Structure 1
């Protein structure tokens, strides 16, 4: 009854029509945000299902995976990650991350401390402001340092069946890692995992239950233009593999097309500087793996043979892998920029072929095996792992001209046209909030209720999705996309 009452309360907004083009993390989150408030929303997606883009596996709660980004971006990502956990708790894999510096790295562990301390203090302050912000564990223990002697002691323990304290997460790791390859201390930080399949499951289930949202899958936008009187937009879509076209009028259009955002901009002759980067993560199975594993990140210089190595755990010995080298996760000519003539950066055809069709089997195996070897520099027994699936891959848009940008959300071209330009999944809610504020200022949404909910995240229908139905839908999506169902389950 509470769900129905809350939804009815917010359904008094006026009947402005909003179109969201692209149903990735950003588009789907914006659609949920609006539909939960009763805003008349149409979500248009060229593919058959929601959230099927670049791989996501972290919250990025503080940007601890990126030494190169600014402190302000780290603080922004911390706040955005806390908001994301509160709205999508069923998507979160609650386990910490180990950050280690190899002997080959130019930095020192102590260099990380000022930022970690800054983030811990900010997290403490956020929890003091609102106790519901305590979603990343105890703020006092946002991070902990472990010396080699600590890890050698922990390695002597029996493998725990459950993690009751921080050290329990380190036993399996300490038994396997080659201490002689690392600098000490290591950092254990409360950076959690984010499940792409569970994210897709929640937005799919919730949108099906929200009458204010109309979902159009297998539909591509072939034309968009401003109406002659300047009041709104005319959007023409075509159904995939069909000659049928449909033209509809909307008061507001949101470009959430991800790495193809420039194609929509070009239809409107809207100039925009951006970059696109093609990247891939790999899926490996390590059947001999035992115990509880944290995420493990070995720092390194991006793009060099010693680029960051990253091990993300899932149930039953499955892992998602990143190796930030040109031979593994990064690709030669994989980072491209827009130009004066077009807002759409032009990826080489071989990348578009991978996105739209398939990867050559030999390339999948070669790059996965290369990533396994990259991890095995530090965890020797990981050489037992095998290729488990095709890569998780896609192209990531980066607005502007800074390839290190990680915290981004929205830009506006003209009245009634917004671009959701997130780089990390946790920025999607900030994008939704910024666009909702623009709708209010434009007068398209005028209800007092919308002002009440502008500064709080109102997601009653989404939050009532049950764990068992989320798991069932996530497993279904994993199978449909030919990935192990372990990637859909909570770790």
Structure 2
């Protein structure tokens, strides 16, 4: 591909300002830097991709029974692109979807959707072999009947999981088939390491001459000028900073509405406060991720068990006492584009969690999993939660596939719900720059494979991920590869 940015502005090379260095802002900066477009990234914390818990690609949307098939296909395409953009951040282990007998759902209800997703994955691989990042399309998912599941319980635990059956054997040893509806479904739905993603972005952008990183700096005021924006900021020492940019990207996550307010734009959105918990369970076998479906917001809400090395598990429970929070879903209003979370949740976002809250909610998460996996009741809390707030554009809390919207000639707001949508948002911003004549492009669409990340070595990404996990106070295992 050939791109020409030599005549982008009368005042010199194009400067794109990015407010926010989470997965959205970092991915936009990666795409621009990879194309040789200069960006100025302003982040209030001391590092990149330091936001809500991420552990799952969401390829195909198999966790969500109530979203549309089109959203699922969009998530599949976006996930494939994201794996190619962040090649060393994926944990290649499958996900097992189980429907408890206590749930009103039909265990076979997902099968038509999975068949559709598998066909689309096969089509994408045929279109470009580089899209074969979720395993063999012919084996994208597999159903296990009760008889097959019970037969696996008689097989020894493998020392290393290499086949679909190997991944299912630990479940067969520990789960009571009388508590489940069949079939169980194994999907080549992979995990995503938040810390290896952060490491990928950190190493790439630190090495690029096309990205200025300004950490511990917060935008305080926006001033629209004749040819762009003037960002008035303040660093952690209280010093005033000013940044002139031609095009501004609002990638501030759940605080996106604050920037909209500063820019004078109104936007309807929701914000939901969430948390995931860490537990250590002494088991020698390799586990897949396990999703136990359940009705959101009830005591039987969906339970999610995400494995990491050395017996560390990340836990979600879609109840108000675990991952969800009472009054934790809030909406914007006519006076402000920024939804207002209750003060206790805002305090946790600003100051972190206190030990009693960590202990109580982690043990509630362990008990929620132990309803269906009794042996997991022996697990112990293993660190502070991964927590944050998730923005959802519009008014539908079920929306999962969203990316970017635009205002005027030089303002974009990234509004991703799932991390896999970030590259799509970045590419739409590039398309907008081309549409408005800021840049000239010879070829579209852009390849999801970025030169900045393709050239990285897995070992250097892993080393940086370990550094970030320790710096942020989380177990090493969250940075390590599994699968």
TM-score over 0.5 for the alignment?
yes
Q: Is the contact between residue 5 and residue 439 of structure 2 (CA under 8 Å) also seen in structure 1? A: no
Query: Which of structure 1's runs of 4+ aligned residues deviate more than 6 A?
Result: 8-11
Q: Is the contact between residue 233 and residue 249 of structure 1 (CA under 8 Å) also seen in structure 2? A: yes
Instruction: Map 1:21-420 to 2 at 5 A.
Output: 21-227=19-225, 229=226, 231-240=227-236, 242-287=237-282, 289-420=283-414
Give the paired residue count. Answer: 478
Shift of 1:453: 5.7
For 1:277 and 1:69, the matched residues in 2 are separated by 17
TM-score, with structure 2 as normaliser = 0.97
Q: Is the contact between residue 36 and residue 458 of structure 1 (CA under 8 Å) also seen in structure 2? A: no
Shift of 1:10: 7.5
For 2:23 and 2:15, the matched residues in 1 are separated by 21
Instruction: Map 1:472-487 to 2 at 5 A.
Output: 472-487=463-478
Shift of 1:363: 1.3
For 2:302 and 2:211, the matched residues in 1 are separated by 41
**Partner deviation per Cα, 1:85-107 (whole Å, 9 max, x = no partner):** 11112000001000000001111
For 1:213 and 1:463, the matched residues in 2 are separated by 18
2:455 equivalent in structure 1: 464
For 2:57 and 2:442, the matched residues in 1 are separated by 28
Q: Is the contact between residue 405 and residue 413 of structure 2 (CA under 8 Å) also seen in structure 1? A: yes
Q: Is the contact between residue 30 and residue 452 of structure 2 (CA under 8 Å) also seen in structure 1? A: no
Shift of 1:451: 3.4
Shift of 1:452: 2.5
RMSD: 1.4
Q: Is the contact between residue 268 and residue 337 of structure 2 (CA under 8 Å) also seen in structure 1? A: yes
Q: Aligned pair in 2 of structure 1 residues 137, 419: CA closer, same or farther (>3 Å)?
A: same
For 1:264 and 1:165, the matched residues in 2 are separated by 48
Comparing 147-156 with 46-55, greater Cα deviation is found at: 147-156
Shift of 1:163: 2.4
Q: Is the contact between residue 10 and residue 36 of structure 1 (CA under 8 Å) also seen in structure 2? A: no
Structure 2 residue matching 1:150: 3-state secondary structure: helix
Q: Is the contact between residue 279 and residue 383 of structure 2 (CA under 8 Å) also seen in structure 1? A: yes
Q: Which runs of 5+ in 2 are unaligned?
A: none
For 1:11 and 1:457, the matched residues in 2 are separated by 20
Q: Is the contact between residue 10 and residue 38 of structure 1 (CA under 8 Å) also seen in structure 2? A: no
1:17 equivalent in structure 2: 15
Q: Is the contact between residue 33 and residue 458 of structure 1 (CA under 8 Å) also seen in structure 2? A: no
Q: Aligned pair in 2 of structure 1 residues 190, 364: CA closer, same or farther (>3 Å)?
A: same
Which of 424, 433, 451 is 1:430 aligned to?
424
Q: Is the contact between residue 3 and residue 442 of structure 2 (CA under 8 Å) also seen in structure 1? A: no
**Partner deviation per Cα, 1:396-422 (whole Å, 9 max, x = no partner):** 000000000000000112110000100
Comparing 255-264 with 355-364, greater Cα deviation is found at: 355-364
Q: Is the contact between residue 144 and residue 189 of structure 1 (CA under 8 Å) also seen in structure 2? A: yes
2:433 equivalent in structure 1: 439
For 1:376 and 1:463, the matched residues in 2 are separated by 41
Q: Which runs of 5+ in 1 are unaligned?
A: 1-5
For 2:57 and 2:147, the matched residues in 1 are separated by 30
Higher helix share: 1
For 1:323 and 1:412, the matched residues in 2 are separated by 35
TM-score, with structure 1 as normaliser = 0.95
Q: Is the contact between residue 272 and residue 343 of structure 1 (CA under 8 Å) also seen in structure 2? A: yes
For 1:75 and 1:109, the matched residues in 2 are separated by 20
